[in-house]
Amino acid sequence: MYDAYAYYAAQYDFIVAAGVHYPPEPWGPFYTYTHQHVADLSNHILEHPERKERKDGIMIWQLLLEGAASSGYSYLNVASKVLGGTTQANAIAQANSFALEPYTGGAAGCEGGTGGSATLCDVSVYNAANQYPDAGTQVVHNCQIWQSKWWANANEVPGENEVWEKIGDCKEGDCAE
């Protein structure tokens, strides 16, 4: 299946995230992935001769923590390790060696994150791709803190649209200069 998507990805210039589910699926146990299956698929993606430089990856759905021996997180850990160059055997051996820490955004090289997850001054950084459905939502944009007066659609940029009201300045991160 990945190879079919990889073919079209090469034609239309997009990145592939191959889907893997963590059982049980609600519609039936027709195919059950294992750590070995995830490692094999990850290695296939990593070594695909026409896709090596594209940074294709794995998408896991149903990230449940069920039992100590396996979970969707362990699948993700195996995929991440193999795609990062760890051998399949070592990745499988380390499948359950991970820490669950929530992502807080703002990592080095992060240009505002996705989904508004990056923060400055304890406020989410504005993301033009997001909708902000709740009145009173605060965002940081151009070193200023803005609050929505009503539903803000994607691309309704603070300072360029009346949905946003400036409520303060932010002097943190790139804005501290």
CB 145 within 8 A of CB 123: yes
pTM exceeds 0.75, yes or no: no
3-state secondary structure at position 12: helix
How many Cα atoms sit within 13 Å of 48 on the Cβ side? 25
Place of tokens 């290695």: 43
Query: Is pLDDT of 147 > 90?
Result: yes
pLDDT in tens, 67-122: 545 567 888 888 889 888 899 999 999 988 877 665 555 544 444 434 435 788 88
Q: How far apart (Å, rounded) are the C-alpha atoms in residues 97 and 140?
A: 36
Residue 58 pLDDT > 50: yes
Residue 168 CA from chain centroid, whole number: 30
Quick check: 43 and 55 in contact, CB under 8 A? no
**Interatomic CA distance for residues 78 and 95, integer angstroms:** 5
Cβ contact 78:45 at 8 Å: no
- Percentage above 90 pLDDT, the chain: 22
All structural domains of the chain with their residue ranges:
2-93, 119-176
CB count in 10 Å sphere of residue 168 = 13
Name which residue leads in pLDDT, 154 or 32. Answer: 154
**Homologous superfamily of 119-176 in CATH?**
Carbohydrate-binding module superfamily 5/12 (2.10.10.20)
Strand ranges for 70-152 from DSSP E: 119-120, 123-124, 138-141, 144-148
Looking at residue 86, what is its pLDDT? 92
Bond preceding residue 26 cis, omega within 30 of 0:
no
Output the DSSP codes for 68-85.
SS--HHHHHHHHHHHHTT
Which of helix, strand or coil describes residue 142? coil
